[in-house]
Structure 1
Amino acid sequence: MKEILILVLIFGLNEATPLEDFVFDDTDLNVVRYDQVKIVKENFLSKYHINLTTCSWFEKLGLLLDPNVPYWTHEMIINVPKNLNSSRPVFFFIDSGRLDQINQESEYEKRVTLLAINCKCITVIMKQVPNQPLQFATDPNRKEKMEDELVAWTFHMYIFLKSYFPNDTFNYTPLQFPMTKSVKRGFDVLFDFLKSKDIQFTEKIIVSGHGKRGWTAWLIGAIDDRVVGIIPINFDLLNWHKSFHSQYKSLGGGYSYAFRFYLIAGLSIFIDEVNIYQLGQLVDPYSYLHRYMNKNIYLISSTSSEYSMVENMRFFWNELRIHSKHSFIRRVPNAGNDLENQINRIFININNFLSLHSKHSVTERALPKFRWKFVNDKDTGQIWIHLSDLKMFQSYDVRGFFALSLSNRSIDFRNSYLDDKLEIKNRRIAWNSRLIARVKISNSSTEFNHKFIVNRSDLNDKYMVFYVEVNLKLKNKSKGRHLVICTDVNRLPEYYPVGDCYERECLGKQF
């Protein structure tokens, strides 16, 4: 809580942040344009394909080697179903893609299209966020950079090359700034296009994205009032400082190999220095927690991602729950960062979250209330859950999920790791589950309590992590219409395998 109070004092509750200064600056508005490339009319919907230019980034500074690259361009597909309920929010999915590989269907495109029919809402997928690959004049190697290497290089520029930028424009170097601005302009173009086609819609958006696009969803959701819901997929790295220190202790003195570009950029060795604190104030969603007061959040997170420690949420979830309107976790067991074969199931959950979200009004609550607490003693670890406001549901199952680490030397549940020969190896750490309760709801005003208990005697000199999943079945819905919500992760034993680091000690190894 101390960190939040400091950040609120720095920016103020209503004072514009550097991110807002950049995103809402219209001096580059003249570059915004869009063209309808084609329209595809199918049995159940119409698909509008649009090419658009959204913003410029350091156009006059010569930061990028290609003179055309400062102007960010994208593909956008707008799905308008024939069964459209115009009162429902627009679902806006932020996607990746290379500038030199356009017109290629992504793994999410079909799901976003099908979602439009199922949720009776307009769905949108916006690609090439960020524009990539990019080459920087500040890079002596002139190497094309993508994804994490691209983000990490912009962090490197912020930390080490501030003198390169006039005035305070170094604040705009993190890649999340143009990513967020491009999405904001994408919203603008979307609404303008729908109005030009006389398509009825509500100017409310539920925004989603995977990985770094999930990061962008957090940020645009914090600063754009049109966003009423946020569904980040596999981005739970909020509160960097505590998360990085926890990762160092969890992995036995280092960090996941997936963060290698960020480690090269200096994020670990300088984690306790003012530059990293200031960078976090710009792009860490934790700095914007007070901006989520009117947002519904459905955070989807894999249990075995190479990017995420399974306990990341403990460093922000309670505060997020206080600041946001409604917030829920959906964990995906036995899946890495790419979600493997779980994407279809996830979009079923997203559809049900959207349908409940659209029913919510001031006078009627559609989303459930879900609370939990950890109660550990000398013999057991326990999670107590409390459920209420279940008027939209007819029944639910409660399951406890748990997994054991491979040894007592690390709290590591990733599906891949870096071996002693610096080679990435795959592995599978099994998450098991057991049914705790199966309940038919006869009275929606009833409140329900359940416990999940594990025994310390089952640890076998290893670490155990465990959580509770509640699978709520909607009323009068066909098979598969469920909302899945989960608790945070509890752990036994409660101590870390190694102690903490400070300043330069935090360089760490890659694992």
Structure 2
Amino acid sequence: MRSGLTIGLVLYLLLPSLHIFPTLLDDYLSEKFDESWEVIHEEGTVEDGLTALLKVKSQRWRGIDWYHNVGVFVPKNLKCRDRGVILIAGDCKPSDFIILKMIAEKFEAPFATVWNIPNQPIFGMREDDLIAYSFLMFVRTGEKDWPLLLPMVQGVKASVDSVISYLESKGLKVKKFLATGASKRGWTTYLIGAMDDRIFAIAPIVFDNLNFGKQMDHQIEAYGWYSEEIEEYWSRGLMDELKTEKGKVLLDAVDPYSYVEKLTLPKLIVLATNDRYWVVDSLNMYFDELKGLKYVLYNPNEEHDISDTARIVEGISAFFKGVILNNLPKLSWEFNDGGTELIVYPNGKLDDFKYYTAESDSLDFRDSFWQEHHDFRMEGDRYIVKVEKPSSGYRAYFAELEYSGYPGFIFTTTMRILKSGKD
């Protein structure tokens, strides 16, 4: 009897993390939604460059119809006709169109932007305030459709449907997309990558919070309390609620870490070293568990709103083309000697190699300055970096590689934090 109970308990604890049982998100996306779309504006042609604005209805959520502006851009320099890009965005601004047309030219592929993820304001709230409220309502009521990430993912899914149909009407059969988005839209990027097989690659931006439970413990360790940027969650008592039975059901649905077995598609994880939402080495809480091709692009001395957008566009467009052409470098690295040595195996010719370090009195690196260094050594095709432990406090570092012959192929290693022997 005890053996049966033990096996049952083990299965209960393990199976949700392996995404064997359907989650709230699985159940929500399996529903039949009243989707529709129409063309609001259109100019140009596929041959000369096409711009269109679609109005998409994705669902009715808690009595509210969700609508999305979806911009579709086919660049004049179109080279890729069967794969495209989906950028997940928040509010729609007319000025975005000029910039997005230029970005589409960088990708040389059909490029669509899905705005109004999520629809907002709702209940007088926006962004994290609205998401946190929806989480709290789920754990209080148990009503399965409450978590806002569910309709956010459905909003993207329905918009992909509309983009495919619209492009097909123009003679383009685009069936696969790279998905990207920042912050909450980066969160959504992970989830749509796990739930929609039309997404062939993802590039989540400044969402460094997979494995929520460990991340929150790590914030307490680093900051003494949770980040002020996620106050909407902890001020509602959600950190305690997440430890309850309903809280675990919620995390199974919305934590991308729950879907690591499905997230085998190529990933470019774009992060900022001074992002106040997360801890500087939050990536280490989940990177090793991610399956398939995975790359990192840390942006030194950047905060949550990364200012160097050109670097991001260049990096993601190069990644997009690299996945399609199957010429991404097989980059690997390892930390040795207690983390003081980093050995990097580029598996390709480099134009530049450097590493960055930052200092802090504590594990809080949010206000630290990242200094560039070039004092590495080479042994064969290996790049070796030696970083001493600090005399006091903490020192963090990572390396950056720029590949030859591939504009935009800039990747970084993960982060390592060294602690002084005195602390």
Q: Does the TM-score normalized on the shorter chain lie above 0.5? A: yes
Equivalent position to 1:186, from 159, 163, 167: 159
- 1:404 is matched with 359
Secondary structure of residue in 2 paired with 1:291: coil
Q: Is the Cα contact below 8 Å between 1:119 and 1:354 reproduced in 2?
A: yes
Cα distance in 1 between the residues matched to 2:22 and 2:254: 14
Runs of 4+ in 1 over 6 A off after TM superposition: 4-7, 494-497
Identify if the C-alpha distance between structure 1 residues 222 and 302 changes in structure 2 by more than 3 Å, giving closer, same or farther: same
Equivalent position to 2:126, from 122, 143, 146: 146
The answer as to 2:48 corresponding to 1:93 is no
The CA deviation string for residues 108-145 of structure 1, in whole angstroms up to 9 with x for no partner, is x544322322222000111111000111xxxxxxxx11
Equivalent position to 1:328, from 295, 303, 312: 295
Cα distance in 2 between the residues matched to 1:495 and 1:6: 42
Identify if the C-alpha distance between structure 1 residues 182 and 495 changes in structure 2 by more than 3 Å, giving closer, same or farther: farther
Cα distance in 1 between the residues matched to 2:315 and 2:12: 36
Equivalent position to 2:370, from 396, 409, 431: 431
Bigger shift: residues 8-17 or 186-195: 8-17
| Number of aligned residues | 413
For residue 448 of structure 1, report the CA deviation from its aligned partner.
Answer: 2.3
Q: Is the Cα contact below 8 Å between 2:274 and 2:300 reproduced in 1?
A: yes
The CA deviation string for residues 370-410 of structure 1, in whole angstroms up to 9 with x for no partner, is 12222234xx712222222x3xxx533221111001x2xx3
Q: Is the Cα contact below 8 Å between 1:383 and 1:490 reproduced in 2?
A: no
Q: What amino acid is the match of 1:470?
A: L
Q: Is the Cα contact below 8 Å between 1:206 and 1:227 reproduced in 2?
A: yes
Q: Is the Cα contact below 8 Å between 1:370 and 1:387 reproduced in 2?
A: yes
For residue 305 of structure 1, report the CA deviation from its aligned partner.
Answer: 0.7
The answer as to 2:28 corresponding to 1:22 is yes
Q: Is the Cα contact below 8 Å between 1:93 and 1:209 reproduced in 2?
A: yes
Could you list the runs of 5+ residues in structure 2 that have no partner in the other structure? 1-9
The answer as to 2:355 corresponding to 1:385 is no
- 2:234 is matched with 263
For residue 278 of structure 1, report the CA deviation from its aligned partner.
Answer: 2.2
Equivalent position to 1:174, from 147, 163, 174: 147
The answer as to 2:407 corresponding to 1:452 is no
For residue 194 of structure 1, report the CA deviation from its aligned partner.
Answer: 1.2
For residue 276 of structure 1, report the CA deviation from its aligned partner.
Answer: 2.8
Equivalent position to 1:339, from 285, 306, 322: 306
Secondary structure of residue in 1 paired with 2:167: helix
Identify if the C-alpha distance between structure 1 residues 260 and 52 changes in structure 2 by more than 3 Å, giving closer, same or farther: same
Cα distance in 2 between the residues matched to 1:495 and 1:306: 27
Q: What amino acid is the match of 1:327?
A: K
- 1:105 is matched with 95
Cα distance in 2 between the residues matched to 1:447 and 1:6: 49
After the TM superposition, which residues 8-87 of structure 1 pair with which residues of structure 2 at under 5 Å, given as runs?
A: 9-10=15-16, 16-26=22-32, 28-29=33-34, 32-41=35-44, 45-59=49-63, 70-87=64-81
Q: Is the Cα contact below 8 Å between 1:19 and 1:282 reproduced in 2?
A: yes
Equivalent position to 1:356, from 310, 318, 322: 322
Secondary structure of residue in 2 paired with 1:349: helix
The CA deviation string for residues 291-321 of structure 1, in whole angstroms up to 9 with x for no partner, is 012x11000000001111111111110010x
Secondary structure of residue in 2 paired with 1:455: coil
Secondary structure of residue in 1 paired with 2:26: helix
Q: What amino acid is the match of 2:205?
A: I
The answer as to 2:165 corresponding to 1:202 is no
Equivalent position to 1:367, from 328, 341, 345: 328
The TM-score, its normalising length taken from structure 1, stands at 0.76
For residue 103 of structure 1, report the CA deviation from its aligned partner.
Answer: 5.0
Q: Is the Cα contact below 8 Å between 1:94 and 1:125 reproduced in 2?
A: yes
Cα distance in 1 between the residues matched to 2:402 and 2:386: 19
Cα distance in 2 between the residues matched to 1:246 and 1:110: 41
- 1:422 is matched with none
Identify if the C-alpha distance between structure 1 residues 337 and 367 changes in structure 2 by more than 3 Å, giving closer, same or farther: same
Equivalent position to 1:486, from 390, 409, 412: 412
Secondary structure of residue in 2 paired with 1:254: coil
For residue 438 of structure 1, report the CA deviation from its aligned partner.
Answer: 9.7
Identify if the C-alpha distance between structure 1 residues 386 and 103 changes in structure 2 by more than 3 Å, giving closer, same or farther: closer
Pairwise CA RMSD: 2.5
Q: Is the Cα contact below 8 Å between 1:305 and 1:335 reproduced in 2?
A: yes
Identify if the C-alpha distance between structure 1 residues 86 and 430 changes in structure 2 by more than 3 Å, giving closer, same or farther: closer
Q: Is the Cα contact below 8 Å between 1:45 and 1:117 reproduced in 2?
A: no
- 2:138 is matched with 158
Equivalent position to 1:285, from 256, 261, 264: 256
The answer as to 2:350 corresponding to 1:395 is yes
Q: Is the Cα contact below 8 Å between 2:376 and 2:386 reproduced in 1?
A: no
Identify if the C-alpha distance between structure 1 residues 435 and 5 changes in structure 2 by more than 3 Å, giving closer, same or farther: farther
Q: Is the Cα contact below 8 Å between 2:242 and 2:250 reproduced in 1?
A: no
For residue 338 of structure 1, report the CA deviation from its aligned partner.
Answer: 0.6
- 1:509 is matched with none
The answer as to 2:273 corresponding to 1:307 is no
Secondary structure of residue in 1 paired with 2:262: helix
Amino-acid identity (%): 25
Q: Is the Cα contact below 8 Å between 1:396 and 1:438 reproduced in 2?
A: no
Identify if the C-alpha distance between structure 1 residues 6 and 465 changes in structure 2 by more than 3 Å, giving closer, same or farther: farther
